[in-house]
C-alpha cells in the first residue's frame, strides 16, 4: 500500500515503483478466458444448429470476438516507474521505454472483482496502447500511481521554470 506521502518520497529519491505486474496467473487467466469464449461459441453453434441464412452472421460474430480478445491480450502489460520514465513489458516480453509526459489518456474500468486500466501514450509520433489488470480491492490502482506521477513531474517542471525576462 502506497499513500501519497510515500509515493512522493519515492519519486524524490528516484526509486523504482512497481505500477502493475503481469504474473503468469493473470496471463493464463486472460488466455483461458479467450479459449473458453471460443469453445462456448462453437458449442453454441453446434447445439443450436442455426438456420442457413444466419450461419454466416454467426460465424462472423465468432471471428470478431476472437480477434477482439486476441488484440486485447496483446495490449496487456506490466509497468514500473523509475524517475520520469515508464517501462512497459507486454505479454510477448517486449520492453517499451517512454516518458511519463508522453501519456495522453488514462482510463479505468471496473468489472466484477477486476480493475482494467488502459493508457494511451505517444512514441515517435504514433499513439500506442497498454492495459493493466489489477484487483479492484487494492488501494493503489495503476491509474492512481500513473496520474500522481504525471502530476508530480508537471508540478516539478513548473517550480524550476525560469521567471520573466522583463
Q: Quick check: 8 pLDDT over 80?
A: yes
pLDDT (tens digit per residue) in 25-35: 566 677 667 77
Q: Name, in order, each residue with C-beta under 8 angstroms of 140's C-beta and a sequence gap of 6 or more.
A: 1, 2, 7
* Cβ–Cβ under 8 Å, residues 114 and 133: yes
Mean pLDDT computed over every residue of the chain:
79
pLDDT (tens digit per residue) in 34-59: 777 777 777 676 666 666 666 677 67
Q: Quick check: 157 pLDDT over 60?
A: yes
Query: For residue 98, what pLDDT is reported?
Result: 92
* Mean pLDDT to the nearest integer, 143-154: 88
- Helical pair 142-159 and 4-12, crossing angle rounded to 10 deg: 50
- Residue with grid cell 524524490, as numbered in its chain: 12
Query: For residue 129, what pLDDT is reported?
Result: 92
Strand partners, 41: none
Q: Measured between alpha carbons, how far is 75 from 119 in angstroms, rounded to an integer?
A: 10
Query: For residue 128, what pLDDT is reported?
Result: 92
Amino acid at each position: 500500500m502506497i499513500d501519497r506521502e510515500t509515493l512522493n518520497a519515492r519519486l524524490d529519491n528516484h526509486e523504482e515503483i512497481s505500477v502493475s505486474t503481469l504474473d503468469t496467473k493473470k496471463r493464463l487467466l486472460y488466455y483461458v478466458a479467450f479459449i473458453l469464449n471460443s469453445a462456448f461459441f462453437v458449442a453454441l453453434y453446434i447445439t443450436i444448429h442455426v438456420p442457413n441464412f444466419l450461419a454466416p452472421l454467426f460465424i462472423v460474430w465468432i471471428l470478431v470476438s476472437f480477434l477482439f480478445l486476441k488484440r486485447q491480450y496483446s495490449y496487456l502489460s506490466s509497468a514500473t516507474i523509475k524517475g520520469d520514465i515508464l517501462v512497459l513489458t507486454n505479454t510477448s516480453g517486449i520492453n517499451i521505454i517512454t516518458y511519463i509526459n508522453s501519456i495522453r489518456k488514462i482510463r479505468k474500468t471496473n468489472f466484477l472483482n477486476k480493475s482494467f486500466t488502459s493508457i494511451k501514450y505517444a512514441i515517435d509520433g504514433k499513439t500506442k496502447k497498454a492495459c493493466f489488470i489489477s484487483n479492484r480491492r487494492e488501494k493503489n490502482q495503476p491509474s492512481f500511481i500513473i496520474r500522481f506521477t504525471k502530476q508530480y513531474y508537471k508540478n516539478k517542471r513548473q517550480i524550476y521554470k525560469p521567471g520573466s525576462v522583463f
